Amino acid sequence: MAFGMHPQRLATLGAWVMLACAATLAVVSFIRLKQQHAPLFQSIPLGALWYQVWPFLYVLLFIILAAYLPLTWLAPFIIGCLLALLGEHRWYVLLGASAIPTAALYLLTVHLMRIGVV
């Protein structure tokens, strides 16, 4: 709205820009692979495949849970579990990093409900 654009048009423009960047990256990568005479496709070891797949499964789990539970209840678990999976073991970092964004989300939601946006 700062540029006088309709929100849907701005989101559509952003999606097209991301698609153009992804296409450019794919074309540049294809050209570099051809220059190096590298194969375009090669098999991935199963151990490496797991490291490629687990973030998508993690997000899918919380998307399914978000259909049944409010986001303000899920947010601390989403953030805390991800930090623990990435190797953080200090409880005070996990607690602070998961509670502060959740509290901010809750306060923003309450404020938006109070002024009538939501």
Q: What is the pTM of this model?
A: 0.49
- Residue of higher predicted confidence among 29 and 10: 29
* Distance between CA atoms of residues 16 and 21, nearest Å: 9
Q: What is the mean pLDDT of residues 73-95?
A: 84
Q: What is the mean pLDDT of residues 55-65?
A: 88
Q: Which tens digit of pLDDT belongs to each residue from 14-58?
A: 899 999 999 999 999 999 999 998 888 888 788 788 888 888 998
